[in-house]
Amino acid sequence: MLNRVLVLSALAFVPFQLCAEVYQWTDAEGRVHFGDRPPQEAKARELRIQQPRKLNSDGEDHAARMEQLDNFFQRRQEEREKEAQALAEQKTREAERQQACQQMLAELKHMERVSLFYELNEEGERVFLDDETGDRVRREYREKYEKHCG
């Protein structure tokens, strides 16, 4: 009997706790405060606190929640696929860059071994370049290699 009285009195107290008043006020230093009893001298305003919405409660539309989850998972899957595609494209570009750098390095080594450079004129004949121009060609190609390949 005593247990029933205690339980009933505890249950009667719960709604009052859920409906407690909350006030907001600003002190003289400009700081905002919240509490159940504002100071006498403060201009306080009462706030209405709503109970938080329960997720997956009996009152919630289960089908709507499942649709939201399905949409979320579908969007996330699409994002992962895009990320994977971007990573694959990046790897392809890096492989192509590595191959181009290897080709440039081979050409650079060949240029270091060659003593004379030539250009073809309009008739298709070789016109040999002087040593200074050859050195400039080597230097420019080396700079180009270092810029693109590090």
* Segment 105-126, tens digit of pLDDT: 999 999 889 888 889 999 999 9
Q: Is the pTM of this model over 0.75?
A: no
Strands 118-120, 126-128: pairing kind: antiparallel
Count of domains for the chain: 1
44, part of any domain: yes
Task: Render pLDDT for 52-100 as a digit per residue (tens, 0 to 9).
Answer: 766 665 666 778 888 999 999 999 999 999 999 999 999 999 999 999 9
3, part of any domain: no
129, part of any domain: no
Confidence at 13, pLDDT banded by 50, 70, 90: low
45, part of any domain: yes
95, part of any domain: no
